[in-house]
Amino acid sequence: MKKIAVLTSGGDAPGMNAAVRAVVRAGIYHGMEVLGVQRGYSGLLQEEFTPMTLGSVADTIQRGGTVLYTARCEAFKTEEGQDRGAEVLRNHGVEGLVVIGGDGSFRGALALHRRGIATVGVPGTIDNDIACCDATIGFDTAVNTAIEAIDKIRDTATSHERTYVVEVMGRNAGDIALHAGLAGGAESILIPERPFVMDDIIRKLERGVSRGKKHSIILVAEGAGKGMEIGKYLAEHTGFEVRVTVLGHIQRGGAPSAKDRVLASTLGAYAVDLLRTGASGKMAATQNGVLEAVDFETVFTTPRQPDLRLYELADMLAI
C-alpha cells in the first residue's frame, strides 16, 4: 500500500490529534504517502484533501480537538454519498483509509469497505459507547474534566449546604457519569443502563441528611434524563436547596490525558499496520490490554454496557 488517508468524524474527542499524528508518522515511517481529509465525510465528498508531512502533525499531541476538523454529514448516510466517497478516494489514488470516530463514523467506514476501499476504524469519542474495546480515545480525559468540575462544585456545595445535580454527556451511554460519579464521590448516579425511581433517590438524600450530611451531589448522564428537570423535581419534593450544573461541551475539549495520548498513539500506529497487512472493515482496539482487530459487524452487533460493578460500588460507598 503506497497511499493512505486519515479523517476524523463525529464529535471531536481529546486525543484525536495524537491518533492522527500516529497514523501520519507511522505511515510515513513505512514509506507511504499520507493524505488528511478535512471535515470528515463531508470533506471527503468535497475532496478536501491535504498532504500530511512529518511536520504537519508537530506540536499536536497535546492539543484537544482535531486539526483535521470534524463534521457530521447526512449525505454520507445515503448510497449515492457512499458511492461518491469511494469514487473520490479512488480518483485520488487512496488505497486505504483510517477513520477516527465513533459508531456512526464506523458505519460510514464499513460502507467504504464494502465498496472496495480498505478501511480501518480507530475508536474516538468521549462517550466510551463502542463495543469490543477497553476504552475509546477521549473518554479518560472527559472523565478527568468532569471530576475536576465536580470537585469545584463540591466546595461550593459544602459551603452552602446545598444539593447539586450535575449533568454530564455520554449520549445514550452512562460511562462518563458512572466513572466521574465514582471518582467524584457522588451520592447518586443516574445512568440510562440502570432504571431508577426518583422516590428512591429522595429517600437516599434524606437518609444522608438524617445522619448529618450537609450537601449532596447527584450525577446525571444526559441519556438518563435532563439535569434541569431532575433538579426541579428534587426541589419540589424535598425541602432542599437545589442547584443544577450542565457541564456540556467543556467535556469535549482540553489537553488529552496521558492515558488517552498513549491509547491514541498505539491505535493510530496499529491501524496503519492493519492496512499494510491487508486488513479492512475492522476496528483497531485494545481488549484486556491486547491489540485486536475487530470486524465492524461484530462491533455493531455486540451488546455493551458500562461496568455495572462500579455502579454497585459507588452506591455502597455513598451509603
Residues annotated catalytic, as ranges: 127
Q: Which stretch binds ligand ADP (CB under 6 A): 44-52, 87-95, 99-107, 274-282?
A: 99-107
Please report, in angstroms and rounded to a whole number, the separation of the first and last CA atoms in the chain: 57
Least Å distance, CB 208 to ligand F6P, is: 29
- For residue 117, give the DSSP letter: -
Q: By CB under 6 A, name the one of 4, 5, 7, 11 that touches ligand F6P.
A: 11
Beta-strand pair 163-168/216-221: parallel
Count of other CB atoms within 10 angstroms of residue 315: 16
* Nine-digit cell string for 191: 445512568
**Which entry of ligand ADP, ligand F6P, none binds 101, CB below 5 to 8 A by partner kind?**
ligand ADP
* Nine-digit cell string for 52: 500530511
Q: Which stretch binds ligand ADP (CB under 6 A): 45-53, 106-114, 148-156, 208-216?
A: 106-114
- Residue 41 in the binding site for ligand ADP (CB under 6 A): yes
Strand partners, 100: 8, 122
Indicate the SS3 state at residue 210. Answer: helix
159 Cβ contact partners less than 8 Å away, ≥ 6 residues apart:
none
Whole-number Cα distances in Å, 284 to 120, 121, 136, 188, 263: 7, 6, 11, 35, 11
- Residue 104 in the binding site for ligand ADP (CB under 6 A): yes
Q: By CB under 6 A, name the one of 20, 57, 73, 267 that touches ligand ADP.
A: 73
Which one, 102 or 268, has the nearer CB to ligand F6P?
102
Least Å distance, CB 179 to ligand ADP, is: 19
Footprint on residues 129-168 left by ligand F6P (CB under 6 A)? none
- Residue 125 in the binding site for ligand ADP (CB under 6 A): yes
- Residue 12 in the binding site for ligand ADP (CB under 6 A): no
Count of other CB atoms within 10 angstroms of residue 100: 36
- Residue 107 in the binding site for ligand ADP (CB under 6 A): yes
- Quick one: which of 62, 84, 64 has its CA closest to 73? 84
- Residue 101 in the binding site for ligand ADP (CB under 6 A): yes
309 Cβ contact partners less than 8 Å away, ≥ 6 residues apart:
none
Q: Which stretch binds ligand ADP (CB under 6 A): 5-13, 250-258, 287-295, 299-307?
A: 5-13
Least Å distance, CB 251 to ligand ADP, is: 14
132 phi-psi bin (left φ>0, alpha ψ -120 to 50, beta other): left
Backbone φ, ψ for residue 220 (5° rounding): -120, 125
Least Å distance, CB 128 to ligand ADP, is: 11
Indicate the SS3 state at residue 27. Answer: helix
**Which entry of ligand F6P, ligand ADP, none binds 126, CB below 5 to 8 A by partner kind?**
ligand F6P
Q: Where do contacts with ligand ADP occur on this chain (CB under 6 A)?
A: 9-11, 41, 72-73, 76-77, 101-105, 107-108, 111, 125
Q: Where do contacts with ligand F6P occur on this chain (CB under 6 A)?
A: 11, 102, 125-127, 169-171, 222, 252
